[in-house]
Amino acid sequence: MCTTCGCTSHDHDHGHHHHGDGHDKRDHHHGEPATQGRETIAVETDILARNNRLAAGNRHLFREKGLFVLNLVSSPGSGKTTLLERTLTDLSGTSRCAVIEGDQQTDNDARRIAATGVPVKQINTGAGCHLDAHMVAHAVEDLPLDALEMLFIENVGNLVCPAAFDLGEHHKVVVLSVTEGEDKPLKYPQMFHAADVMLLNKVDLLPHLDFDVERCCEFARRVSPGIRIFQLSSRTGAGMDAWYGWLGERRVEVIEKVTGAVTNR
């Protein structure tokens, strides 16, 4: 049995295999009325409690290892993997990084990341639409955490579901490419609300598009007033230095917090 989470699965396949075969939507509201002999149990339990507990475990581990962890979320095709390739290559001399890749199928992204020389672990969620804390807890078992400073988790490309699942990261970073439309923050407010940083990617394409950058940023700030926004292009490298600057500053803050906590104990 797994000691991290108590799961009994040996292959750690945590996909969703419970899709019902019938679509006979019965009406739940015509059940039997309460009768004597029945007992009401006050449960008052957060439905995401298990995920949150496992995420807290991940967070504790990351703190112990002095590891700065980001959860990259976006719709499919926003350029997360290319952004990571560029980031990892440019930071290779200064930061020791690793990546967890989440996709429904294939290890294509893991192979692209591996080509940059950093440790990478691919999670295939099967039919699953998001990563959860349990999957991440097992994925980090295969990474050399003691030798790392930063961990990037590339979530499944999906602007809806990953918003609800804490993985234990320090920040959710939402990637939005300028080919997608400036009203994405309003159409998918949950995700932009959950994110602390927005990377507006592919800005090298702006001359060819009608994308209104100011409007997009305004929409993002409506949903998440404190959100940090970086405009960049991982193809040309424009704007990447500001993103690296933020990464470096935040990582130092996180590590100092850990060091401070140890000193004060």
Partner 1 sequence: MHEMSITQSIVEICSEHAAGRRVRSVTLEIGELSGVVPDAVEFCFQACTRDTLLEGALLTIDRIPGRALCTDCQAEVPVHAYYDPCPACGSYGLSLLGGEELRVKELEVD
Beta bridge partners of 199: 175, 230
Quick one: angle between helices 240-264 and 80-91, nearest 10? 70
Q: What angle do CA 76, 199, 251 make, to 5 degrees?
A: 115
From CA 194, how far away is CA 167, in angstroms rounded? 12
Residue 32 C-beta: closest distance to partner 1, Å: 7
Residue 215 C-beta: closest distance to partner 1, Å: 13
Q: Answer yes or no: are the C-beta atoms of 148 and 98 closer than 8 Å.
A: yes
Residue 45 C-beta: closest distance to partner 1, Å: 5
Residue 195 C-beta: closest distance to partner 1, Å: 11
Residue 114 C-beta: closest distance to partner 1, Å: 29
Q: 15 vs 245, which CB is nearer to partner 1? A: 15
Residue 251 C-beta: closest distance to partner 1, Å: 28
Q: 10 vs 29, which CB is nearer to partner 1? A: 29
Phi and psi (nearest 5°) for 171?
Answer: -145, 145
Q: 96 vs 221, which CB is nearer to partner 1? A: 221
Contacts to partner 1 by CB under 8 A? 16, 18-20, 22, 24-26, 28-29, 31-32, 34, 37-51, 128-130, 132, 160-161, 163-165, 185-186, 189-190, 192-193, 219, 221-225
From CA 227, how far away is CA 243, in angstroms rounded? 14
CA of 8: how far to CAs of 14, 171, 194, in Å? 11, 30, 31
Q: What is the 3-state secondary structure (H, E, C) of 76-104?
A: CCCCHHHHHHHHHHHHCCCCCEEEEEEEC
Q: 35 vs 264, which CB is nearer to partner 1? A: 35
Q: Answer yes or no: are the C-beta atoms of 152 and 172 closer than 8 Å.
A: no
Q: 127 vs 252, which CB is nearer to partner 1? A: 127
Residue 201 C-beta: closest distance to partner 1, Å: 22
Residue 200 C-beta: closest distance to partner 1, Å: 18
Two structure tokens written together for 218: 């305004």
Q: Which amino acid is at 91?
A: L
For residues 18-56, one letter each, b for 16 or more C-beta atoms within 10 angstroms of the residue's C-beta and e for the rest, the string is eeeeeeeeeeeeeeeeeeeeeeeeeeeeeeeeebeebbe
